[in-house]
Amino acid sequence: MFKRRLSYSSSYTPIILNTNLSQDSACFGESVQLMSSVSGGAGSGYIYSWTNGSGNLVSTIANPLLFPFASGVYHLTVSNGNCMASDDVIYTMVPIPVNNVSATPLNGCIPLTVTTTNNSINAISYFWNAGNGNIYTAEAPAIVYNSCCTYTISYISTGLAGCTDTTIISPVLTDFPYPPATIIYEFGHLTATDFALYIWYFNGVEIPGNNGPHQPCDSAGYYQVLTSWNGVCYMLSDSFYFDCGQGSGIGIENTKPDNLFSIYPNPTSKEITVNYNLNTSGTFSIYNLLGEKQDEIILEKNTTKKNISFNNISSGIYFCVIKTEEGKMFEQKLVVQK
């Protein structure tokens, strides 16, 4: 928006002066062209003098391109040696949006929900491009990724006069989930193999300084391990109770496994009978060496035997795990030969 104030010197043929702006308002830091149209007068060519609101000379051409940093007034005086005219233009500088956004987490298993925060200023509209074909116009949306693997989030805030600011958040990494690890006790150590990264927990507290597949079993309690193949998707294992050799040969629970449950025949070809002695209900699960669950059977309270057939399980070594409703876990090795 602009205003015009005209004044003329005495002359037989006055100078006719009109001034204007290339745009009524501009974003902070953008250019503004001052424009003038002059006619009339008598004498030699026109002389232009543009000054700012402080009276400082800023240009001596008819249509200068300037980069103002605040709203204000430009004053133009035109003369031709005999005549003189002047005019003002008032310009408005609009503050641009200033982005202050974040997103978390930036990696994880799919489906991955990324939570955004937005503390941007001077913004009146919002545009989030999740990089997976989805667009969001909320101020701080929850972005959902349902497929693998690498994405870039682009955020644009828009203010008055179409002023914008852009922020890029990258990379967002996703991966497919996989079965959690099974922990095996052997010779005073716990092992969870076939992963690249490990974080061990004892009674729910992270064990510092160990990122490998083996963990010394020093104290009886509940052990878990957080594992990942690539540092993108992490899976937390079940909580396994180990007595660390204080009462059992395999380190699980203080009651000998033969007294708790037995499996026969072992080795087997397609069917086993499980005898158990539980005070509560629980589950009987079979895992392969990758920690992938092959089967799970409910063990009802006050029962002592289950016949289980598994025609779809191939030859190999498996781990049979009984988990009580109290969270205690007991394990035995099973060999399948077909």
* CATH architecture entry for 101-175: Sandwich (2.60)
220 in Cβ contact with 202 (< 8 Å): no
Domain segments of the chain as ranges: 7-94, 101-175, 184-242, 257-336
Decide: 324 and 288 in contact? Cβ < 8 Å: no
Q: Are 269 and 336 in contact (CB under 8 A)?
A: yes
Indicate the pTM of the whole model.
0.57
Task: Provide the CATH topology of domain 257-336.
Answer: Immunoglobulin-like (2.60.40)
- The one-digit pLDDT tens for each residue of the chain (338 residues) are 344 444 444 445 777 888 888 777 778 778 888 899 888 876 568 899 999 988 999 999 999 998 887 888 999 999 887 788 899 988 888 888 999 999 999 999 988 999 999 999 999 999 999 999 999 999 999 999 999 999 999 999 999 888 999 999 999 999 988 888 888 887 788 998 888 999 999 988 899 988 899 999 988 888 899 999 888 998 888 878 787 765 433 334 333 344 567 888 877 877 888 888 777 888 888 877 666 778 888 888 888 888 888 777 887 778 788 888 776 777 777 878 76
Q: What is the dihedral of CA 255, 261, 265, 269, to 10 degrees?
A: -110
Cα–Cα distance measured from residue 14 to residue 33, given in angstroms and rounded to the nearest whole number: 26
Does the domain at residues 7-94 carry the CATH identifier 2.40.160.40?
Answer: no
Q: Check for a shared fold between 101-175 and 257-336.
A: yes
Q: Which residue type is seen at 94? A: V
260's enclosing H/E stretch is: helix 257-260
